[in-house]
Amino acid sequence: MYRLAGFYNPRQAQAFIDYMAYRGIEISMAPEPEGKFALWLADEQYLVEAEAELNAFLLDPNNKKYQAASWQVAESRTAKFNYSNPSLINMVKAQAGPFTLLVMVASLVIYGLWLLGFEQVLFEWLHFPFMNGDQWELWRYFSHALLHFSPIHVIFNCLWWWLLGGQIERHSGSAKLVQIFLLSSLVSGFGQFWLDGPNFGGLSGVVYALLGYIWWMGWLAPQRGLVIARSYVVFMLVWLVIGFAEPMGMSIANMAHLFGLISGCVIALFDAKVNPLKQAK
């Protein structure tokens, strides 16, 4: 599967899908956040042709040939296109890949067990190592990212993980998201440990790595098609700065955020300049 483009007008997108179906090329549509609909090419051997036709369509979407194609394929269409708002479950699944969903589910299940009274057991098993012998328990360098301590903590971290991690996984594949998760949880964990010891947890350091990765990839290699809205970047950077003031006495893993952001930017720099691979499928 290859993501061709995003449309805010699903009827217009369906016209292009019908035209390509008439030409024997299968394209599907999936909802995305903010009311957007993505077009996905089923067989990448048709990528060059599909992109050329898409460019022509965008220049003249009202051309009669697109309407004619819709009439041609209307009777053979096996599924009726539905313009209603997608369900929450379908929206979550459309935006996320398997690793995105796995981390979300793991975080929510662990927090559910936390609420059921297993706080001590969970923290003892998942916290960042104290460096008094447990430094050889290697999972601890990553498992701390799955620990959350309040409803707001887990909900907002999972929301950002789903939004940013899902985008990276769909664009660059599960292996890239796993790489960023492991490296950023390791780096952000050490950063926070040096400042305040092992009493921390949460996905926020990883989330800032995802932000840094998408942000810098959009800046350094815009042709790769991985971009993020400027409003998201501004919001997250402002929150990063505010966090150091610890408003309302909140305990915030600020160094985890900062080191996570730096790690994501460094990975993007490597991918864009040192290892400029072909755009991920």
Kindly state the tokens that stand for 75: 């009777």
Q: Are residues 78 and 102 both part of a single domain?
A: no
Q: Are residues 101 and 72 both part of a single domain?
A: no
State the pLDDT at residue 11: 83
Instruction: Identify which of 103, 97, 1, 99 has the alpha carbon closest to the alpha carbon of residue 47.
Output: 1
Q: Give the CA distances from residue 162 to residues 31, 37, 77, 205, 237, in Å, rounded to whole numbers and listed in that order.
A: 14, 17, 32, 14, 19
Identity at 237, one-letter amino acid code: L
Would you say residue 279 lies in a domain?
A: no
95 vs 152, residue with greater confidence: 152
Find the CATH number of the domain harbouring 107: 1.20.1540.10
| Structural domains counted in the chain | 2
CA atoms within 13 Å, Cβ hemisphere of 102: 8
Lowest mean pLDDT, pick from 27-41, 90-104, 168-182: 27-41
Domain residues for 34? Answer: 2-85
Q: Are residues 128 and 194 both part of a single domain?
A: yes
Mean pLDDT of the chain: 86
Whether the model clears a pTM of 0.95, i.e. scores above it, the answer is no
Q: Are residues 51 and 101 both part of a single domain?
A: no
Q: Summarize pLDDT for 232-246 with one digit per residue, the tens.
A: 999 999 999 998 887
Q: Summarize pLDDT for 184-226 with one digit per residue, the tens.
A: 999 999 999 988 888 899 999 999 999 999 999 999 988 888 8
Among all chains, which residue has been given the structure tokens 């009726």? 80
**b/e map 168-182, b = 16+ CB within 10 Å:** bbbbbeeebbebbbe
DSSP-derived 3-state class of residue 5: strand
Last residue of a domain, one of 62, 85, 108: 85
State the pLDDT at residue 34: 61
Q: How far apart are CA 80 and CA 76, in angstroms?
A: 10
State the pLDDT at residue 84: 47
State the pLDDT at residue 277: 55
Q: What is the mean pLDDT of residues 73-102?
A: 66
Question: Is position 204 annotated as part of the catalytic site?
Answer: yes
Phi then psi for residue 60, to 5 deg, are -150, 70
The percent of residues in the chain predicted with pLDDT above 70, rounded, is 88
State the pLDDT at residue 280: 41
State the pLDDT at residue 79: 47
30-39, 237-246, 247-256 — most confident range: 237-246
Kindly state the tokens that stand for 163: 């939004």
- Region of residue 117 (left: phi > 0; alpha: psi -120 to 50; beta: else): left
Above 70 in pLDDT, residue 74?
Answer: no
Above 90 in pLDDT, residue 247?
Answer: no
Query: E strands, the chain, where?
Result: 2-7, 27-32, 36-41
Number of CB atoms found within 10 A of residue 129's CB: 18
Q: Are residues 214 and 265 both part of a single domain?
A: yes
- The one catalytic residue among 204, 231, 251, 263: 204
Q: Are residues 240 and 130 both part of a single domain?
A: yes
Above 60 in pLDDT, residue 81?
Answer: no
- The one catalytic residue among 107, 184, 257, 263: 257
* Cα of 107 vs its chain's centroid, Å: 16
Question: Is position 257 annotated as part of the catalytic site?
Answer: yes
Number of CB atoms found within 10 A of residue 30's CB: 19
State the pLDDT at residue 250: 74
